[in-house]
A and B are shown apart, each in its own frame.
Chain A
Amino acid sequence: MWWEEVRRRERGELRARRFEALARSRRAASLALSNRKEITTPHLGAVNSLQVDLTEGRYLLSGASDGSAAVFDLKDATEYEAGFIAKHRSILLVDKQHQHGHKFTVSKAIWYPVDTGLFVTASFDNYVKVWDTNSTQMVMDFKMPGKVYSAAMSPIATTHMLIATGSADVQVRLCDIASGAFTHTLSGHLDGIMSLEWSTSSEWILMSGGCDGAIRFWDIRRAGCFLVLDQLRSQLGRRPPILDGTTDNQHQKNLGRSSSSKSYSVQQRTGNHKKQSKALRKSLTMVRGHTQQKVHPGMSSSQNHKTAHYGAVTGLRTTTDGMHLLSSGSDSRLRLWDIDSGCNTLVNFEAMRLQTSKPLQLAVTDDPSLVFIPCMSSIKAYNTWSGTTFQTFRGHYDHVNCCYYNSQDQELYTGSNDRQILVWSPSTPALTEMEDDDKRQEGFAADEDNWSD
């Protein structure tokens, strides 16, 4: 029981870190639709994107199909219904009525990772716009060659402020907020780019998933992609088998490094990134073997046509420790990749059915034990390592597009085509009932058995 752990912690049998991790995972395991917190969306269309800001973990940004983006305060409720149902209304809304509002669907809305003063929206009207949160004004915009499916900013970047954008065009473009221009154009994909993800361990490394089924790794300091994930190249287990030879020690060292980066989070963005990323690059190249080391992967055509999914790659998500990558495809598969080795880990995620035509937003818990993925009108939580279904969240009445796991509060937010943003929070029935009793108002029927006859 929960109290058992508290007692062990009291006795000193459990260390603080471990205790915290246990509490977090316990809460994450008890997620259920929250009756006491609801988000009232001003959106008139499907909710496509959700993100909580990385600095405070307090403001939820959503982008919707009616071309609007809204910000909600997750801590302070706008009003309370019946005394205990907290209703969170949007505190900021940018929609078509706005002077510079998007004309079409907002496909992605992301926070500027450093503070909540800026946010970025990407839209099907070919524009990526940067907004000032406080004045609700557009700061700058980038015209793209096609519908913009995805945009991403590195959560750990200290040396650059680039927005990676994926569009119907085959190239990934990097937009620089500092200069207001494109700095990079990354070519390699054969079709539009549905999903983008920055590495959480190196600020230079970008991952992109395209409609051609390929997942490409880019080092933005060099030309071309350096890795194309191949679904057929696989390893059993979470780590690749240790190779013998001279690289052994080096590899061990790298592993130690990268595992120490587990504790990396947004707040702790100090440290030796350069060294870290170099080590990562090195290990990546080394694992692939000596023969390929000389060939630049971007140049090799045999490497160039590997696919990670049959069909489009609709979603990408790295774990917080930066060691694994989760990808979803229009082949209704979820794959777990070892970034270090670039191998498919062959975790068999149980049967699911995914939307095929839209970018999906996946979510993982902090210790990557659970992965949340929108499966049509429900959200499924899978055990990351075993692939078994942990829980199915049902509540939406239409296809779910995105989910976001707020690791600070251990809450899950999901956005769907039915225009709702649902909050799934850890539920401890006994506690909530006690609180309900305190706050209950008159005039509502008690939720009790009523067998009159």
Chain B
Amino acid sequence: MPRAAGRPPPSEQGPSPSPYTPAADSSVAALIDRATSTTAPSVDPALLRAIKSSARASDGAVRDAFRLLLSLMAKPHSHVRLLAFSIVDELFMRSKLFRSLLADTLDGFLPLAVGFRTNEQLPPPAASAATLRKAAIQALERWHHLFGVHYRQLRLAVEYLKSSARIQFPGLRAAVEARAAREARTQEILTAKVEQLRSTIESIKAEIRSTIQEIRNGLDIIRAEYEKFERYADDDDEEEEIASMAMRSIRTASLMAGQWVPETQENEAVFDALREAYRLLVSKHFSTIQDWISVLVRVNLADNRFRDSALKEFIDVKNEIRAVRSQCNELGLDLDNVRRKKDAQEEDEEDWVEGKIEVPSPPRVVSNLDVAGSSKDNRKGKSMVNSGNGDMPNGGNRSQEMDPERKKLLSEAPLVSWSSVLDRWGSNMDAHVNQRGLELESHWGRMDNDAVIPAAKIAELNVHHSVYKEEPVEILPCHAPLKKGGLCQRRDLKICPFHGPIIPRDARGNPIGKIGGSSDAGGDPLEQKVDIREAGGNPINTNGGIDSEYTQEGQEPSTSMMTSINNDTSDIDLSKITVDQLAMQAIKNVRKRDMDDKARERAQRARVRQHNEDVLRQAAIASTPHSAAAYGQPSEALGRRGRRRAKTKEPTLSSMLKKKVTAKDRIAGRLLNGHARDATIREASNTEDMTYREAFPNQWQ
């Protein structure tokens, strides 16, 4: 792309979509005009900076800006005022000239920003007006705090708003004072602590020193042992005389690299003591020292001598502790990492003590793929679970190195819905009763390693389960002919309360398969078969054409009715079928075709209706742009609509003034409509009842 090469890449580092370029018109007026003619909630910082720098240039610029801002503040649009006010605030804090100019017209300016006069309320939109008012009051308080001494007008304004207009100030200044009071209180506490430290510092130091000494002693013992061991190892080599130079170097290298003193039965006690002391040192003493250092750093004392000396001592002690710790680490005493021998509880503590936040390894995706991968190692033939998401980070690169066999297996593996069974897929280990030692809510606890559930029991408990999902069944209408004409539209599962069991009927409501009512249902194997097939939920034949159905079933294009029947009833004794039955079946099939036509028509109508509704809904959503996200719009449709909107128009300042139909309005309207509708329905049903009663006096129940 030769064109893109010449241009710098689109800015990715900053969220500054500002259209401002320094090369553009940089007069204050133009900048302010641009800054205040957007619908953005605040002034673009880059633009604001530009305004500041151009206003800084000269007094004339400040005056220009002031004049323009004042006229903008008088605009009957709260959002413009809000943006203008934020610029005013910015300039007021910076320019003395601007301050004096604004102070002289503050009595005219404030009603425009705060709207405290009943005849000069803030203009719409209401949201911006509320923001403006809040911002103005806050700014005024800040101004008053900073510059009130120099400007009588500011003092007057605040006094008037407080006492006459009864406007509540947020009291930021009070907050500052409260903070100062809090500070003083902390100082008091700190001072008390330091006083306390005066008496206890010696004991603290002594304690720490003793711990350090303990550790050093332990280290000495271990070192001595280590040297002994090393000598012993050398002896070994000499004795055996098999020391190939390579073997020996490898061994010493491994020993030296870790400087690892093997922990054995003999020196376990020493190690335990060492570990104990180390933990005490690191977890308790180190943090104590750090606390005291922070206290000493923060405290403000009249006499700083004690503080300084104590601070120095503590820092010394801290360095000593550090030295001991690094010594331990150098020796390769794996005191931090004792999980090999000790239980998980200690592990936790050690981790925490070290104060080293382990970089969490990328969370293992507990997905089906992992399970599958692990199971692959031991059981190749086992049916695997297809994860279905091969594009996961670790799944992706794994799939590259997958052997073709595995790929094949994955492709044909069945899809299993997720359940907790998959957690333990393929594992035959015992499970802990309490995996994390959680006994209290949100507290880590000790984990009991002995309390386990045997694998057999787990296998027994692990039963794959899935939630039953009902498949939608179309309930057919009764379609029995009514006396007043038309067909019964009741939809019951099996029996219509008025017309008995629901049976297939033709377009006029006559039951199919009961000509003259001579032959009864139930005894007819053919009809049974058909009924079964229909009830079996083969809805294709209601939607799809009859021909296709038959081609599917019959497997041959030149299917006659006979063959189809034969196919269907292959397991029924053919000898039972008489010519009459065949004829009846033929009639039935013809009628069924009629029915199918009707059903298709209905489906078509339903589709049209559905389409219409969709279109209407889209139109409704498009008219309220902000609600688009609230509705579950398909993203594709949204995108298309967004493009179209972007092309036609985007929100402007004037559009902000237009009254939006809020949820409240809609509900109110609907309630009104609802009332009206209810009334009409009641009336209509009343009259209907009356006519019905008159028409069918004996049928009224």
Contact = CB atoms under 8 A, between A and B. Distances in A.
B107 A447 contact: no
Contacts of B105: 394
Interface stretch (A30-38, A115-123, A161-169, A335-343): A30-38
Contact of B156 (A81, A378, A420, A444): A420
Interface string B145-161: 01101111101110110
B442 interface: no
Interface stretch (B93-101, B341-349, B380-388, B430-438): B93-101
A10 interface: no
B96 A418 contact: no
B107 A395 contact: yes
B52 interface: yes
Nearest to B95: A449
Given A397-B107, A419-B164, A444-B149, A450 B156 contact: no
A99 interface: no
A447 B95 CA distance: 9
B163 interface: yes
A449 B96 CA distance: 5
Contact of B107 (A394, A445, A449, A452): A394
A448 interface: yes
Given A444-B150, A447-B151, 5 more contacts: A33-B152, A33-B153, A395-B152, A398-B164, A453-B49
A418 B160 contact: yes
B96 A377 contact: no
Interface in B102-130: 104-105, 107-108, 110
B591 interface: no
Contact of B56 (A85, A418, A445, A451): A451
B163 A419 contact: yes
Interface of A: 33-35, 38, 81-82, 85, 377-378, 394-398, 418-420, 422, 444-445, 447-453
Contacts of A420: 156, 159-160
Given A82-B149, A377-B107, A449 B94 contact: yes
A433 to B, nearest CB: 10
- Consensus secondary structure, chain B interface: helix
Nearest to B152: A35
A378 B150 CA distance: 21
A33 B149 CA distance: 14
Contacts of B95: 449, 451
Interface centre among A82, A377, A395, A398 (most CB of B within 10 A): A395
Nearest to A446: B150
B152 A34 contact: yes
Interface in B220-244: none
B52 A451 contact: yes
Contacts of A448: 96
Interface centre among B52, B149, B152, B157 (most CB of A within 10 A): B149
A418 B164 contact: yes
Contacts of A444: 149-150
B152 A447 contact: no
Given A394-B105, A444-B149, A451 B96 contact: no
B147 A445 contact: yes
B159 to A, nearest CB: 8
A24 to B, nearest CB: 24
Nearest to A83: B149
Contacts of B56: 451
B163 A397 contact: no
Contact of B108 (A34, A394, A422, A449): A394
Nearest to B91: A451
A452 B94 contact: yes
A410 to B, nearest CB: 18
A447 B164 contact: no
Contact of B150 (A34, A35, A422): A35
Nearest to B96: A449
6 contacts: A396-B107, A397-B157, A445-B146, A445-B147, A449-B96, A451-B56
10 closest Cβ contacts across the A-B interface?
A447-B150, A35-B152, A397-B160, A445-B146, A82-B149, A444-B149, A451-B56, A449-B96, A450-B94, A451-B94
Contacts of B107: 377-378, 394-397
Contacts of A377: 107
A204 B105 CA distance: 45
B162 to A, nearest CB: 12
Interface in B52-102: 52-53, 56, 93-97, 99
Contacts of B163: 419
Contacts of B110: 397
B154 to A, nearest CB: 10
A65 to B, nearest CB: 13
Contacts of B152: 33-35, 38, 395, 422
A16 B159 CA distance: 44
A422 B110 CA distance: 18
